[in-house]
Amino acid sequence: MKELVSVAIVNWNGEKYLYKCIKSLLNQKYKNIEVIIIDNDSTDNSVKIIEDNFKNDVILCRNKNTGYAGGANKGIELAKGDYVIIANPDIVFGDNYIENCIKKFKEDPTIGAVTGKLLKYDFDTDEKLNVIDSVGIAFNHYRQGIDIGQNEVDEGKYEEDKRVFGVCGAAAVFKRDVLEKIKISGEYFDNDFFAYKEDIDICWRLNLYGFKCYYVHDAIAYHGRGMNSSKGVINTIKNRRSQSEFLKGISFRNHYLMIMKNETSYAFKKDKSKIYIGAMKYLVFFMAFDWKCLKYVKEVKSKKALMETKRKQILKNINISDEEIYKLFDL
């Protein structure tokens, strides 16, 4: 029998998306799967949709709202599979997504996480779009995370598997035994992040521990993330203003928390000027357009000691050379 794959959907008020997401999982060519729904105290009809349509097909865990990171951790704890997929509810999986992702792990025992080609999905028109959402995450020398290919028309540019820095948390596939090896203080994802950039953080740690992340070109899924472009100052400002103060604030906070946790001395010294430039750009932008969010600087300071404790654990378990670490920022 094929190895068991656990799929944990972390849901909060996802009634608009859940039915299609769960249906797409039940229609997978890879049949040995369990579907776990971690519902983070939704106030919409999410639970009713699950109980009315999928009562015998999924495991429903009604959770307090511990954020995406806490929900993902709960899903991993409940999962019985050899592989664990952490997914957003606004994902519609192609029928070969799981099968082709699992095949990739067999090629190299050091692969710890994979992602497929995520294309856009318009839930308002029920339409699959030939526009890329993510083919993996790059994390550059300025310590900026970028979804590779985002908003590009899919014209065949990404038709080969490729090692990447990280996998998009919307449909990330992890090897279970690797998750056990990289957890810190009983946590896989960092609960202190709550949400946003927790996928970059866990993949940074995964790389440092000597494991790899891969993009799998023929594993297709569709993501309901909007079409906002992040290119150009004007578009960036528009996108930021459309987000809530809370989301902008924790994104700002988590950016610095993950650097405090994962940065190594060698890479920092090599990229120090770029890291400072990236940090200053971030701060100037917030002061000009999102100054209310600067209160989250206090949260960074308040969590400094905790991040340093986690950092010590990470540094003890680094399993690649300084030179290999530095090359990660070129992936």
Would you place residue 251 in the very low, low, confident or very high pLDDT band (cuts 50, 70, 90)? confident
Mean pLDDT of 159-165: 98
**What pLDDT was estimated at residue 308?**
96
Mean pLDDT of 80-107: 98
**What pLDDT was estimated at residue 31?**
95
Phi/psi of residue 163, nearest 5 degrees: -70, 135
Would you place residue 229 in the very low, low, confident or very high pLDDT band (cuts 50, 70, 90)? very low
Count of positions (residues) in the chain: 331
Angle between helices 18-26 and 46-53 (to 10 degrees): 30
Q: Which two tokens stand for residue 100?
A: 């082709």
Helical (H) or strand (E) element with 35: strand 33-40
Classified as helix, coil or strand, 58 is strand
Percentage of residues of the chain with pLDDT beyond 90: 84
CB atoms within 10 A of CB 155: 9
Confirm if 266 and 322 have CB atoms less than 8 A apart.
yes
CA atoms within 13 A on the CB side of 178: 25
Digit-coded pLDDT (tens) for 49-72: 999 999 999 999 999 999 999 999
Domains of the chain: 5-223 (3.90.550.10), 233-330 (no CATH)
DSSP code, position 125: T
Q: 180 forms bridges with which residues in the sheet?
A: none
Helical (H) or strand (E) element with 283: helix 265-289
Helical (H) or strand (E) element with 303: none
CA distance 53 to 48: 8
Would you state the torsion angle of the CA atoms of residues 14, 16, 20, 22, taken in this order, to the nearest 10 degrees? Answer: 20
249: exposed, middle or buried (C-beta count within 10 Å: 0-12, 13-18, 19+)? buried
Q: Which two tokens stand for residue 62?
A: 């009604």
The chain-wide mean pLDDT, for the chain, equals: 93
Classified as helix, coil or strand, 129 is strand
CA distance 136 to 138: 7
DSSP code, position 44: S
Digit-coded pLDDT (tens) for 175-195: 999 999 999 989 999 999 999
Distance set, CA 81 to CA 58, 77, 171, 259, 331 (Å): 14, 10, 16, 31, 29
Amino acid at 282: Y
The residue with greater pLDDT, 205 or 294, is: 205
Give the predicted TM-score (pTM) of the model: 0.94
DSSP code, position 169: T
**What pLDDT was estimated at residue 239?**
57
Q: Comparing C-alpha atoms, which of 298, 300, 282 is closest to residue 290?
A: 282
Phi/psi of residue 30, nearest 5 degrees: -80, 115
